[in-house]
Structure 1
Amino acid sequence: MACPICSKDSTPRYRPFCSKRCADVDLAKWLRGAYVIPGPPLEEVPSDDPDRD
């Protein structure tokens, strides 16, 4: 299996990545919002706070 970041062979320790660096690059992309699940845009995100309407 190839690493999704750099296309090198993955290693069992960091699967599906080849190294900690590539795993960290992928995590950073998630945290920045670079990855998006497709779907219709939400007009309003529901709140978990019952006092907020």
Structure 2
Amino acid sequence: MLKPGTRIKMTMGYRGAKGVITEKIKSKFEFYAVKLENGINIIVGPSAFEVE
């Protein structure tokens, strides 16, 4: 589990885009709300990014 504020870099979809985890989604799966530096907010799983 990653904490809000963790800096990430996308590896799928928005590959290369950087952002920050804003919250853990309430789900039995490990999904996170992420705000990317380009202003887009997305929901992603841990396979879609790497921690910086």
TM-score scaled to structure 2, two decimals?
A: 0.18
- TM-score, normalised by the number of residues in structure 1: 0.18
Greater strand share, structure number: 2
Structure number, greater radius of gyration: 1
